[in-house]
Each structure stands twice: as C-alpha cells, then as structure tokens.
Chain A
Amino acid sequence: MSFCPNTPEDVREMLAAIGAASVDELFAPIPAELRAKSFDLPEGVSEQELRRQMQELARTDRTVTPFIGGGYYDHHVPAAVDHLSGRAEFYTAYTPYQPECSQGTLQALFEYQTAICRLTGMEVSNASLYDGGTALAEAAMMALRITGRNRLLIDGSVSPFAREIVRTYLRNLDVEIVEIAPKDGAIDRNALAAHLTDRTAAVIFQNPNFFGTVEDLSDLAEAAHAKGALLVASVYPISLGLVQSPGAMGADIVVGDGQSLGNPLSFGGPSFGFIATVKKYIRNLPGRIIGETVDRNGRRGFVLTLQAREQHIKRHKATSNICSNQSLCALRGLLFLASVGREGMVELARLNRDKAEYAKGLLGKIKGVRLLNAAPTFNEFTLVLPGDAAAATERLLAKGIAAGVPLGAYYDGMANCLVVTVTEKRSRSEIDLLARELEGAL
C-alpha cells in the first residue's frame, strides 16, 4: 500500500510516452555501484493493522496527573481549535508563496501576528519560529546583529533547556555568554549590574522564571538601555492575562513557547515559538512575516513580505536559516486566543493563578516544607522540601501523580527544591490529594 494510483495499464502508457522499456530504466542514471546495499524494513500493513499496532504502542504510555510544567503546560484546548485547524484547506496547504491561492493561510497568520503583538505589547511579530527555546536563541542572535556586540548576559532562572539551546546555537560563534546565578529563585540585580557593560548586546530574562517567580523588568530594561544593550524577555503567554506585558516593561525582543495556546502536550512537539519586537528592528527579525497590501483592483490582501531577509533570497547572509516554521501550530494559537477572547484571557489567567495560590497555601503548610521565596508567582512556585525532592517525586509518580519538577538535576544545591505547576485543569480535589500524598511521602 503506497497510495500510488497508477494502474499497470497507466504505467505501460506512461513508459511508452517516455520511450522507456521499464521503470527500472528510469533509474539508469544511478551507477550500479551506488545502489542501496540494504533496505531491510518490515512488510507493509493494512489500515486496520496499523491502527492496532499504533494503539498498542500508545497504550504502553501511562497517564499521570501532571503538576509539572518546565515550559509546557496542560491547558484545555477548545474543541473549535481542533476542528478549524483540522480543515484540510489549512492542514494540507504548503507555505503561502503564491498569495492569490493562499489568502486563507496568509490572513490567518496576519491575524496571528496581530494577536501576538497585542498580547506581548510589542509592535511587530513574525509568523512563528520552531519553539520557545529556539526562539530565544534566535532572539539572542538578533540582538548580536542589531548591536554589533558579542556578549550576552543570561539570567540563570531562564529555563535550563532554553539556556542550553542558546549555548548550542552560539557555541561555534565568537560570542561570550555570561550566566548570572539566581538568588533565592529571583534575579540577582547586583551581580547583573556588575556584568552589564557597554559591550553587552543583550540581557536575557524569563518571566515568570523557571522557579515561577514573577518580576518587574522595567528597571532592568532601563539599565540595559543605558548601556546600549537590548532586553530580551521569554514569557509564558497564558500569564499575560494578568501579568504586565513585557512590552510595557520595556523589552526590546519578546519570545515564548506557544504550546499553551491551543496545542496539545504531544510529548513536547509540535508547538510553536513566537518572537515579537519593535518596528525599528523588523529587518532583523528571523523567519517569515506576513504583510498587508492591495491587489490590482485595490482590494485588501496579504503576502509574505520582507522576503529579501530570508534564506531563499539572501542565502548565507540571511537573518536566519529558518524555512519551514510551525504555521499550523501558530494558527492553533490564534484560534485559541480568539476563542478565549479579550475578557476570557484575564479569567483564564486568574483561574490558573487562583488554583496555584490555593495549592501554594496548602503545600506550604506541610510540616517541614517552605516556599523558596515570598515573591509573587503566577501558576508555578518552588517548594523547599525537608529532604531530597527527586526521591519524593519518584514516590508520588508511582501513585500516578507528577508532583513537580525536582531541581537537583538543573541547579547545584537545590536538590530539595520542587517546582509545582497548577493549571486550570487541576481540580481542587486533585490539589488536595497532591497535598496529602506529598505529606505522606516526606
């Protein structure tokens, strides 16, 4: 079964038109010594057999009640998001290089860019990047280009995964990355000030950070700008229903992962990365951008614009090598934001925070347990347990509860710390159960 429709009769007619005796003859340009030495694959299967095999494989995954985040969050996906993004006209289309027959995708992505700008408080957005971590790396490279400098300061409370991606991306370039160790789960402003100089291209933060702490970045933006550096902020989009936008705090480049906006967890992908900035830096944005224009009759229409920045025109001088992005996931993000809506976004964020605050109160009262800091948080917070957090997590996992992310693997001296995430999907009784079980596991 290969979904090839040509019948033997078709094949005969086609070979006759080509003037070839056999299909094999068409492969004659490939010298015999270059032919495959092996192609040892299983035999194909029927539709119903495939369904059975895949179902069986999926069944070996166990579901747990997740109080874990780490950048990906268990949020409700509105039914309309699946139905509309599943429309074959969106789903099976290619990149909208031919705008006249791609207005559906183009207009939707223009609306996506608008929604991202409004959510982040920025002026321009591209049409998506791969994920939050790679978007942060692209933002770092963008800041290096804009400033012409080669030094980056990254707050250590940025996700360890995202920091690793930034290091991976920049490893072969002449760039110095300084990580500022966090203090009690928050930015160490003194250490940062000591390292910020007029050679710094950008200071990079995450808000809320990996520990869940929410901070005001305004003073840091001012300090960066005073040295001619940019402020890059990675944000969790759901938090922006309640938390001040990074644009209003003075960020120059804003990125984040769009998984929480209508994309299933799907074991970590596909989601999308968003990147937004101020208008003056638009030419330094990586990736595709949709622009509004008019047709020959003056009707409004949308096109891929500023393509001369991109790899298919500028090749090795392009702003990035990115070609395929995460268009369909970005569409899902737009559908999510339009479905939840202006007021709904505030309520959804509040639901997340209310539940997390309830959990924080309950878990923080367990004997021997304390909070890492007293700073405001959104829907994640860090507990300090009386003993090893990894051991406690493992005990709870055996009972079907993913209690949180133990920090020992990511931060020295934080083996007792556990980051707990509570989304709107966690019920009060699930939170109560977590509290009981955690108390019992200590």
Chain B
Amino acid sequence: MKLIFEKSVAGRRGLKLPVADVPRAAELPENLARKEPAGLPEVSELDLVRHYTNLSRRNFSVDTNFYPLGSCTMKYNAKIIEDTTAFFAGSHPMTPLLPGGEALTQGSLALIHGLGGLLSEITGMDEVTCQPLAGAHGEMTGIMLIAAYHRAKGNRKKYVIVPDSSHGTNPASAAMVGYEIITIPSAPYGDMDLDAFRAAMNGEVAAVMMTCPNTLGLFNPHIREICDIAHEHDALMYYDGANLNAILGKVRPGDVGFDVIHVNLHKTFGTPHGGGGPGSGPVGVKKGLIPFLPGPRVVQQDGAFALEREQPESIGRVANFFGNFGVMAKAFAYILMLGREGLIEVSEQAVLNANYMMSRLKGHFDLPYEKSCMHECVFSASRQLKNGVHAIDIAKYLIDRGYHPPTVYFPLNVKEAIMIEPTETESKETMDAFIAVMKEAAEMAEKNPAALHEAPVTMPVSRLDETKAAREQNVCFGPW
C-alpha cells in the first residue's frame, strides 16, 4: 500500500475548521515565523478513512485472531469497559491543581483513589500509585522508591539482582536508576538457582527483582526463603507483576514478603494494547515506602478526595499528571464488573487453559520443564531444529493459518523457545483448533521443512529483510 504522503494532492483538504470570530492578529516576527508549512498530507476525509481502514485490515488483533502471546496476556477487552470509561474523557488535568479545583474533579480523583485501593487489596500492598505510564515505567519508579528508601536509611547499595529468565525491562530499569546488575542463572528445575543466589547476595544489594510465576510459567516454591535472605541483607524484594494473571486471589505478593510491585493494567486487567500501548503500570508498596511515592498523591480527607501538597520525601513526579487515566478507568471498570469471584475465575481458567495447551502439545514439541505450569507454558523447537526448522519458521506458519504466533526466543534461557499464554478468555474449541495446527507444523517439520521456511505466504508481505532495514535506517519518508 502507498503511504498517506504518496496519496497527497496539493490543495486537497480534510478537516473543516471553524471561521475566526476574532480579528486577524499581526504576524509573528520574521525570525520566529515558520517559512514553509510542514509537509503534512493533503487528503480528503474519504481518502483518510479508506487509507487507514485498509491499513487496519493488515493487522492481526485480539478481536480478529487468537493471540497466544506468552508474557503478554492478550485477553479479550470487553466492549462495555470502553463505553463506560468514555464518560470521563473531558476533564483537564490542571483543574484539581487550581485553588478550589479538587472539588470539581471528585469523580476522577475518586476513581484514581479507588483503583489504588482495589489494587492494594489484590496485591497485598499498603498503597498503590497509579502514576507510572507502563510496566517498565512502573519498574523504574519502583527501583527509584527503593533507592530513596536506602538513601533515607544511609545504606550504601550498588547492585540489583535479577534471574536470567527475567524480562529485559528488569535489568534495564535498574540500570536507568544507576544500579549495576547481577544476573543469577536458572537451576535445572527452571527457577533461579537458590545456591547461586545465596552466594551472590551481599550487603551492597539494593533489591532483588523477581517474576513469579516466572517467565517459564513456573511458580517458585522457594520464594519466601528468597525474600528472607534478601531482607537479612536489607535488600528489598521487587515483584514484576507482568504475570499476575495466574495468581489473582491465590497469592498476594505482599503476603509472601515482597516490598514493591508493579502491575500491568494492560495485561491482567483487560485494557487493550493499542498496537504497543498505552499501558499503565501502577506501583504498590509496603508502608515504609509510602513517604517516597511520586506526587501528587490522591488522598481521602473528610470524605472528599484531595491532592496531597506536602511530600518532602517523595521521589518526585514520574509523569506529567496522574498517569494514564483513561487506561486506569478501564481497569477500574473491569475489576468492578468481575468482582472477587470473577477475578478468581480469571486465574483459575487462565491456568487451566495453559495446562491444557501444555498437556496436548507436549508429545509434539520438547518441553524443557515438565511441571504443572501456571498461566503460560514454554516449549522448545529444538526437536524441529534437527530438520533445520526454527521456532521462527513455526511462528510464521501459524500466521498463514490465522494465528498470531506465541512469543518466540524468550525467555533467553530456553533454546528456540515457544512461549504460549492462551489467557482465560479463549475457549476449548479455539485452543483445540490451534493445537491441531501446531501438530500440523510439527509434522511438516518432519516431512516438508522447506514449506515452513517459505511461510507466511498468505499475508500482504512475505518475510521481511530486517538486515536491510537495520543497515539502511530508512525511518522517515522523503524527500520533503
């Protein structure tokens, strides 16, 4: 398809602007005035609508395709959630910061406060800030809170420990806050090697970042021991909530001994991913860390909601205003609608679906850790590799059959990893059909590997030359 810029016709107009009801102002001085209008497209509204409607049809999405993308929790996003949150679209975020303005935004402030309360109960934490704008942003905020805690205590800390199966954002977030990273290998049983952890632990460790269940979908039974060891060294325990979908109502990280957690609202709490964002990454903390939370905090005083003005120990703002409010509103509506029983059912059905996938596929693909999994399971295409078929070839074949591929090549500690997370909103028939296609792919790997190397053949484009893209770096259409 042509780019919208290639469809541009000089003089063609889209949006109809209002006629000025005030006199024309004098021009800006010469040195401040733009010389040429920016080279934006000149298209009619129909050109625009047709272009982007047709472009949208070149996407897979949850509403059109099964999306068993491990660690991404691509569950269905209910339509009522969208409708109800639209009631809130209008408030200007400066309003509550004006004198007397809090009284005008009681609904929005109540929602932020209410969501924080619900997430505190769900995670077993004492307070939650909803300001961080995505999961990684939450991680960074959490590590900043930990740094503030150590600074206030006069602790000298240098390191953050992560397991080798961790999401890349964990070490990246800790590094952004200035920490050096210690990576602990996985033991043969799939979890962080406890002995290696014990050996690496020292008084200069600021925090230990864990994902539990981890990225292999395994629940670490030693998690409390790990928390205890960390706490003995005054290191805080950080919980990566990306995989919270498995444990709603079953385990609360706060009960287990974690001090800080972030939650991905766009995963567990049913808000759409939008092609890569917006997300929202609220951070929960135990009592001792509350003074450090980013401001302005939404608090309840005498039955009304207000912004706390004095927070001398706060790390400061991490976002312009109160966070991705629109995303928070959806998660709030989602939790209200499902309620206690509904959320417990989410984790039970998510775990059931993942175990079903694992049991039905394990004869056909290698399963590096043959244990009961949580919300996701990780296979390896190492058996198929003997015929020259890689995980990526299987992924591309799935596209031809109408499935978004699972996450491949992650976690890094599994060779040719294929990470499947069906989520709770998918039915048995959908999974059965997917399983049949996965078996077909395994058979083709034996009989006709060449066909897998060609896939996909049904999409608008076949496999793309990523090396050319990286070497040429053509990231902007030109000439102007």
Contacts and interface: CB of A to CB of B under 8 A. Distances in A.
A305 B100 contact: no
Contacts of B387: none
A325 B134 contact: yes
Interface stretch (A104-112, A182-190, A225-233): A104-112
B317 A301 contact: no
Interface string B25-61: 1101101111101111111010011001101111111
A61 B20 contact: no
B277 A325 contact: yes
Nearest to B294: A168
Interface string B425-465: 11110000000000000000000000000001001111111
Contact of B465 (A53, A96, A294): A294
B315 interface: yes
Nearest to A14: B356
Contact of A89 (B22, B59, B167): B59
Interface stretch (A32-40, A196-204, A363-371, A433-441): A32-40
Contact of B107 (A33, A59, A406): A59
B274 A327 contact: yes
A242 B320 contact: no
Interface in B287-339: 294, 315-327, 329, 333, 335-339
Contact of A45 (B26, B65, B337, B460): B337
B32 A216 contact: yes
B39 A311 contact: no
Give the size range of A's interface with the partner: 35 or more
Nearest to A130: B133
A127 B275 CA distance: 11
B155 interface: no
A100 B404 CA distance: 10
A291 B472 contact: yes
Contacts of A113: 475-476
B261 interface: no
Interface string B129-153: 0000111110110001001000000
Given A167-B316, A172-B147, A406 B340 contact: no
Contacts, number: 708
Contacts of A345: 37-38, 40
Contacts of A18: 352, 355-356, 358-359
B55 A107 contact: yes
Contacts of B107: 57-61
Given A110-B477, A264-B89, A291-B475, 7 more contacts: A3-B75, A19-B359, A64-B95, A93-B61, A118-B40, A314-B168, A357-B22
A91 B61 contact: yes
A26 B17 contact: no
Nearest to A42: B339
Given A111-B5, A165-B320, A320-B176, A100 B346 contact: no
Contacts of A215: 32
B203 interface: no
Nearest to A389: B99
23 contacts: A4-B346, A26-B351, A36-B252, A41-B118, A54-B87, A66-B94, A92-B63, A94-B67, A103-B55, A104-B55, A107-B58, A265-B90, A270-B327, A299-B462, A314-B168, A320-B172, A322-B134, A340-B14, A340-B15, A343-B11, A343-B13, A350-B24, A357-B26
Interface in A272-308: 272, 279, 282, 288-297, 299, 301-303, 305-306, 308
A105 B353 CA distance: 29
B349 A6 contact: yes
A324 B477 contact: no
Contacts of A413: none
Nearest to A300: B461
Of A34, A45, A124, A295, most buried by chain B (CB within 10 Å of CB) is: A34
B33 A244 contact: yes
B49 A84 contact: yes
A210 interface: no
B290 to A, nearest CB: 17
Interface in B74-130: 74-78, 80, 83-85, 87-95, 97-101, 103-108, 110-111, 118, 121-122, 124
Interface in A145-187: 161-162, 164-165, 167-169, 171-174
Contacts of B188: none
B318 A168 contact: yes
A60 B122 CA distance: 26
Interface in A9-40: 10-11, 13-15, 17-20, 23, 26-31, 33-40
Given A23-B352, A47-B80, A168-B317, A33 B224 contact: yes
Interface stretch (B192-200, B215-223, B229-237, B378-386): B215-223
Contacts of B98: 68, 393-394, 397, 402, 405-406
B137 A130 contact: yes
A371 to B, nearest CB: 14
B371 to A, nearest CB: 7
Given A39-B344, A311-B136, A341 B56 contact: no
A272 B223 CA distance: 37
B428 A14 contact: yes
Given A68-B98, A88-B64, A326-B278, A101 B169 contact: no
A294 B464 contact: yes
Nearest to B219: A29
Nearest to B295: A164
B411 to A, nearest CB: 11
B476 to A, nearest CB: 5
A118 B39 contact: yes
Contacts of B124: 36-38
A315 B168 CA distance: 5
A84 B404 contact: no
Given A23-B348, A164-B317, A344-B17, A107 B169 contact: no
Interface in B234-258: 247, 249-252, 255-256
Given A50-B337, A318-B168, A168 B277 contact: no
Nearest to A347: B17
B285 interface: no
Contacts of B221: 29-31
B72 interface: yes
Given A315-B168, A394-B99, A299 B88 contact: no
